[in-house]
Amino acid sequence: MYKVSIEEIKAWDRFYRANFINSLSGFKSASLISTASPDGKTNVAIFSNIVHIGADPALIGFINRPKEAAPHTLSNIERTGIYTINLIAQTIAERAHLSSAKYEEGISEFDALQIDIDFLPDWKAPLVKDAVCSYGLKVAEIIPIALNGTYFVIGAIQWVKVNQSIICDDGFLALQEAGTICSLGIDAYYTTTLIDRWEYAKPFKKAESIDAVPKLQ
């Protein structure tokens, strides 16, 4: 087993170091966050650091890079208070990855990358039309992280749009049935395969499988 100290890591080439550190946290969901400015200019960008915070109230968080590196998503969220998170389907994975490029303000990644856009009545932040699942959030809190200049954005879920055919009887979303992808590091994407679902863990109790086959509600 290879062991390396933080002093050695700091001495590495910055791109090698970035790939190594970004891979340490393992596989993550890959989502497109879509926003609009107050005057209606749309923006969409890929994020792989989205995390569940709680179910009641229903809260989701994500890390936004420093403003000088990724200003548009955070700026739109700060000014409008709303945004949409869209789970990425395999069919748009390549275009989703390209949304990480630094487009100039005023250029919509929807147009530049030919990502189909959609809207809901009374919700000004756009949706990704080909998303496996989309959900709208209202900003609950934005926490600046002084250590590296990033921001932890916490949103309260307002609505969810998902294909009913992937909802299991107990509310579990069988996302693997819908062709979602996950990511590793900053540039690698993977398909997903279910190993198993197990019942709630209790001390000294054997793990029992749960039916993970979605059924129409």
pLDDT for 94: 96
In the CATH hierarchy, which top-level class contains the domain 13-191?
mainly beta
pLDDT at 215 over 60: no
pLDDT at 214 over 70: no
What's the chain's average pLDDT?
Answer: 93
Q: Which of 30, 26, 69, 65 is nearest to 185 (CA)?
A: 26
- Report the C-alpha gap between 138 and 155 in whole angstroms: 5
What's the mean pLDDT in 167-186? 91
What 3-state class would DSSP assign to 215? coil
Give pLDDT tens digits for 32-56. 999 999 999 999 999 999 999 999 9
pLDDT at 69 over 70: yes
pTM: 0.93
Give pLDDT tens digits for 105-140. 889 999 999 999 999 999 999 999 999 999 999 999
pLDDT at 92 over 70: yes
Helix (H) / strand (E) containing 78: helix 71-80
211 burial level (CB within 10 Å; 0-12, 13-18, 19+): exposed
pLDDT at 175 over 80: yes
Give the pLDDT band of residue 200 (cuts 50, 70, 90): confident
pLDDT for 25: 93
pLDDT for 216: 46
Q: Which two tokens stand for residue 115?
A: 């990502």
Q: Identity (one letter) of the amino acid at 59?
A: L
Residues 207, 198: contact at Cβ < 8 Å?
Answer: yes
**Among 39-43, 67-71, 187-191, 208-212, where is mean pLDDT lowest?**
208-212
